[in-house]
Amino acid sequence: MAAETLLWLIPLPPLAAFILITLVTNKNKTLSHGLAIAGAASSWVMSLIVFIQAITRPNLAENPISSSINWLPTGETALRIGVQLDNLSAVVLFFVAWTILMIFIYSVGYHNYGQPAGERDVPGLPPRGAEIKDAHGHTHRVPSVEPMYSRFFGFLSLFAFAMYLLVVCDNLLLLYTGWEIMGLCSYLLIGFWYGKDSAKKAAMKAFMTTRIGDVFMLLGIVFLYTQAGTLNYREIFGNAELMRTLTTTPAGFLGLSQAAGIGLLLFIGTVGKSAQFPLHVWLPDAMEGPTPVSAMIHAATMVSAGVYLAIRIFPLLTAGWEPGGALTPAMMVVGAVGAFTALFAATIAVAQNDIKRVLAFSTISQLGYMIAAIGIGAYTAAIFHLVTHAFFKALLFLGSGSVIHGMEHGVMHSGEHVDAQDMLNMGGLRKKMPVTFWTFLIGGLALSGFPIITAGFWSKDEILAGAYHGGQMAIFITLALAALLTAFYTMRQITLTFFGQPRTEAAAHAHETPWTMTVPLIVLSVFAISVGWSGIPEHFPLIGGLIPNWCETFTGAMLGHEGEAAAFSAVPLLVSIVVSLGGLTLGWLAYRKVKIAVDPLKQALGGLHTVLQRKYFVDEVYNFLFIRPAVWISEVFTSRWMDRVVIDGFLHAIARAFLWLGKIVRHGFDVPVVNAGGDALAAGIRKGGAALSPMQSGRVQQYMVVTITVVMVFSAILFAILKLV
Amino acid sequence: MIPLSWYLILSAALVCIGVFGVISRRNAIAMLLGVELILNAVNINLLAFWRYKDVSSVTGQVFTIMVITAAAAEVAVGLAIFIAVYRNRRSIVAEDVAELKG
């Protein structure tokens, strides 16, 4: 089949799976996950075929796989929709296909497929376990299957559809469509356990926060359409004339050019979706959802979509910038937001105890890395880190889900009331869950940028090198500090979770998870290492050049020149090795001897630790600045004053006026005139009838006498009149 | 030729006899006979005026035929009613049938 046709088909199997699961197979768990995985797998196969065709196609950047049709006629022109696979979307499609398929398979085990239904389980709450009796008559508590199993796979499939759509589409409108469907799925899946108050609130928070970004993004799209008359990537970015006009025309606000204005508006969409400061608050709370959701939506794919958009609009953001020259205002904003977020989130992650929340802040921090890379013009580095991060962060999330799963097993066994997600309750899981441990270790080392062997090292190094060579010292130092903290909190997490002795009974009885969960971990851990090999710089000592730097050549072709990393310098390389190893060592030293469930950092940092643990009180500040005033306005102004006093008062006054008018009409007109008149008329007619009734004797001859008499009298009168006249 | 007035006097006399019969007789059939007399008096009137005033048109004859037809229909209906009344109450005295008095 032609690559274009396959490209059209890629998003459709998950959509079909979603429709079928929702409408038909909702009752049958096996069929539902079968359909969902079959849909994801067929998309995966098609994606890989298309990917291979794309990378073997000569000159893909100028000649992408694309096809489009007229969709919505608007007056003389028409909005066109189409699919397109260029170098950027090919790379994104590759990791999206892999992570989605792995997470689908993982979800089967995560939701305890094949386990009995819990006797106290209700839809909308996580399963609480079931009692079973074994052959010896002993009762065991075992994990029970998720009550809304099919629904989960339905939503997941819809999400996969939207993500594929976003990657393969060739214009911003279709991208926005996929973007919003993903926002909806994110909302539905964060609030999957809607019986939990915290999950409900987190779902709303995520939806509302990303909405802020989306509104600005829509403004940007509209702005772009009014200026360019098209939303197709190639028609905009490939049109040198148009780009020059956009770069030189002022946008009319903040002294920006139109290109920068549109770019920044679209970038606010990225800030919302990729959880950058100041719209980062929703992502940590989104961990209320099931772990596969956290891995897929909130680590590997949806939040990556934000960065993908930022990379897409790279020509707009960098309009008027020469490689090596001073940064444009738009780039400075992007770089500052990214670098700040990277460090900011990394510091918070240090003080979190929930295993998933650490990863959530780590995700925010790493996305900040990519955004910072875009801000300094390190295009290929951003793409490279996007890909490697998707793999190792999905791996880490799935690993944390596996840990939680194993801990819950232990909690059921021991009957303790401990939080299965709190790392301080874990410890010593290395021996209990070996597969999870080794894969998590690989993911963690990749995240902290462990030199040479992990993918994270190469991508992070490239960003640091980009910042260094671009002369952006502030960004370079911020990112290096963030990398140090990243290595530190990653080691803290690994040490607390897997090393030492179990700190609770539950941790001592934790159990390795089923193969459906461990196989995806192994597959992803392979990628977490090997993806890095596609981007080893040619000038790297010893091993540079052994494998061609494929990633940079391939994605750099999008810019029309050969990437940006020209010179090699030992400084960023040494820095990235030092911060990585230094952070890991510090983390190991600080946490290897934790015996009781207290963080040693708490005493060392004192009040600062509380600040970090409470996430710099950003939630509290937002609560004070935005939520409380909004609630106050709706409660006091809108509800109590506007609604009840003004509108209700007005309505009541009208009602009273009409009541008064009604009374007057009733007593002044209706009762005396209409009623009495009607009664009088009826009485008169009755009286007249009574008076006249004797006339009707029933005797024919009498009638006749009367008739004849009358006729004669009238004839006589008539005759007399005629005679007289 | 007999003058027109004679015919008119005849028909007037017939009307009077008919009216008297209708009013004074108790037997319903006799009342019907009176009605027939009145109608025939009208016929005589019509024909007399036609013959003496306007021979060229046929209006008078047509009207007469119409009256005869109507009279025949009236007698048919009237007699049918009387037979029905007689079957129910064994009497054809008009005064006895006075259920509709007010």
**Which of A695, A697, A705 is nearest residue B98 as measured by Cβ atoms?**
A697
Strands A65-74 and A77-85: antiparallel
**At residue B27, what are phi and psi to the nearest 5 degrees?**
-75, 125
Which of A404-413, A454-463, A590-599, A655-664 bottoms out in mean pLDDT, i.e. has the lowest? Answer: A590-599
Is the pLDDT confidence value at A236 over 80? yes
User: Please, which residues bridge with residue A84 across strands?
Assistant: A66
**Quick check: B87 contacting A, CB < 8 Å?**
no
Helix (H, G, I), strand (E, B) or coil at A502: coil
Across the interface, do A696 and B101 touch by the CB < 8 Å criterion? yes
Residue A97 CB partners (closer than 8 Å, separation 6+): A43, A44, A47, A48, A51
- Best interface-test mutation with B: which of A693, A704, A705 has the largest number of B CBs within 10 A? A704
Helix (H, G, I), strand (E, B) or coil at A83: strand
Rounded mean pLDDT, A345-355: 88
Contacts of B98 in chain A (CB under 8 A): 697-699
Tokens at A261, concatenated: 């204005």
**Distance to chain A for B30, nearest Cα, Å:** 12
Residue A383 CB partners (closer than 8 Å, separation 6+): A88, A91, A311, A551, A555
Give the span between the Cα atoms of B46 and A558, in whole angstroms. Answer: 119
Is the pLDDT confidence value at A225 over 60? yes
- Best interface-test mutation with A: which of B22, B27, B85 has the largest number of A CBs within 10 A? B22
Q: Which residue has the tokens 């820095």?
A: A575
Give the span between the Cα atoms of A361 and A493, in whole angstroms. Answer: 13
**Quick check: A701 contacting B, CB < 8 Å?**
yes
For residue B16, the chain A residue with the least C-alpha distance is A708
Is the pLDDT confidence value at A684 over 90? yes
DSSP H or E run through A67: strand A65-74
How many CB pairs lie under 8 A apart between chains A and B?
34
Which of A443-447, A537-541, A601-605, B4-8 bottoms out in mean pLDDT, i.e. has the lowest? Answer: A537-541
pLDDT at A542: 67
Helix (H, G, I), strand (E, B) or coil at B82: helix
DSSP H or E run through A652: helix A648-665
Tokens at A598, concatenated: 């207290």
For residue A689, the chain B residue with the least C-alpha distance is B102
Task: List the alpha helices (DSSP H) in A249-328.
Answer: 258-273, 282-285, 291-295, 302-312, 314-317
pLDDT mean across residues, chain A: 86
Q: Which long-range contacts (CB under 8 A, 24 or more apart) does A535-542 make?
A: A535/A380, A535/A384, A535/A458, A535/A459, A535/A462, A536/A458, A537/A458, A537/A461, A537/A462, A537/A465, A537/A565, A537/A568, A539/A567, A539/A568, A540/A568, A540/A573
Across the interface, do B102 and A705 touch by the CB < 8 Å criterion? no
Helix (H, G, I), strand (E, B) or coil at A142: strand
For chain A, the C-alpha Rg in angstroms (whole number) is 37
- Residue A295 in contact with residue A397, Cβ under 8 Å? yes
Helix (H, G, I), strand (E, B) or coil at A144: coil
Q: What is the largest CA-CA distance in chain A?
A: 148
Q: Is the peptide bond before A315 cis (omega within 30 degrees of 0)?
A: no
**Quick check: B94 contacting A, CB < 8 Å?**
yes
Rounded mean pLDDT, A133-145: 77
pLDDT band at A563 (very low <50, low <70, confident <90, very high): very low
pLDDT at B45: 92
Residue B50 CB partners (closer than 8 Å, separation 6+): B57, B59, B60, B61
CA angle A25, A30, A33 (to 5 degrees): 80
Taken in order A320, A322, A323, A326, is the CA torsion positive or negative?
negative
**Which of A694, A695, A696 is nearest residue B100 as measured by Cβ atoms?**
A696
Is the pLDDT confidence value at A713 over 90? yes
- Residue A365 in contact with residue A349, Cβ under 8 Å? yes
Give the span between the Cα atoms of A196 and A124, in whole angstroms. Answer: 7
Domains and CATH numbers, chain B: 4-89 (1.10.287.3510)
A693-712 pLDDT per residue, tens: 888 887 888 888 888 899 99
Give the span between the Cα atoms of A500 and A424, in whole angstroms. Answer: 11
Rounded mean pLDDT, A353-357: 88
Q: For residue A180, how many other CB atoms are within 10 A of its CB?
A: 17
Q: Where are the domains of chain A?
A: 378-613
Tokens at A372, concatenated: 């910072």
**At residue A354, what are phi and psi to the nearest 5 degrees?**
-75, 125
Across the interface, do B101 and A708 touch by the CB < 8 Å criterion? no
**Which of A696, A701, A708 is nearest residue B102 as measured by Cβ atoms?**
A696
Q: For residue A437, how many other CB atoms are within 10 A of its CB?
A: 21
Q: Tell me which residue of A710, A452, A444, A442 sits closest to A573, measured CA to CA.
A: A452
- Residue A599 in contact with residue A353, Cβ under 8 Å? yes
Which of A63-72, A648-657, B8-17, B50-59 bottoms out in mean pLDDT, i.e. has the lowest? Answer: A63-72
Give the span between the Cα atoms of A62 and A87, in whole angstroms. Answer: 10
**Quick check: B31 contacting A, CB < 8 Å?**
yes
A370-398 pLDDT per residue, tens: 999 888 888 888 888 999 998 899 899 88
ipTM of the complex: 0.81
Rounded mean pLDDT, A398-405: 88
In chain A, pLDDT over 90 holds for what percent of residues? 25
A512-539 pLDDT per residue, tens: 888 888 888 999 899 888 888 887 777 6
**Which of A693, A698, A701 is nearest residue B23 as measured by Cβ atoms?**
A701
Contacts of B97 in chain A (CB under 8 A): 698, 700
Give the pTM: 0.76
pLDDT at A1: 63
**Quick check: B33 contacting A, CB < 8 Å?**
no
pLDDT band at A597 (very low <50, low <70, confident <90, very high): low
**Quick check: B55 contacting A, CB < 8 Å?**
no
In chain A, pLDDT over 70 holds for what percent of residues? 97
pLDDT at A682: 95
Is the pLDDT confidence value at A567 over 70? no
Burial of B89 (0-12, 13-18, 19+ CB in 10 A): exposed
A90-103 pLDDT per residue, tens: 889 998 999 999 88
A608-629 pLDDT per residue, tens: 878 877 888 888 888 888 888 8
- Residue A399 in contact with residue A436, Cβ under 8 Å? yes
Give the span between the Cα atoms of B59 and A691, in whole angstroms. Answer: 46
Q: What is the largest CA-CA distance in chain B?
A: 54
DSSP state of A627: I
Across the interface, do A696 and B95 touch by the CB < 8 Å criterion? no
Is the pLDDT confidence value at A313 over 80? yes
Rounded mean pLDDT, B16-30: 90
- Best interface-test mutation with B: which of A696, A699, A708 has the largest number of B CBs within 10 A? A699
Give the span between the Cα atoms of A493 and A482, in whole angstroms. Answer: 16
Rounded mean pLDDT, A258-282: 89
Is the pLDDT confidence value at A159 over 70? yes
A494-511 pLDDT per residue, tens: 888 888 888 888 888 888
Across the interface, do B22 and A695 touch by the CB < 8 Å criterion? no
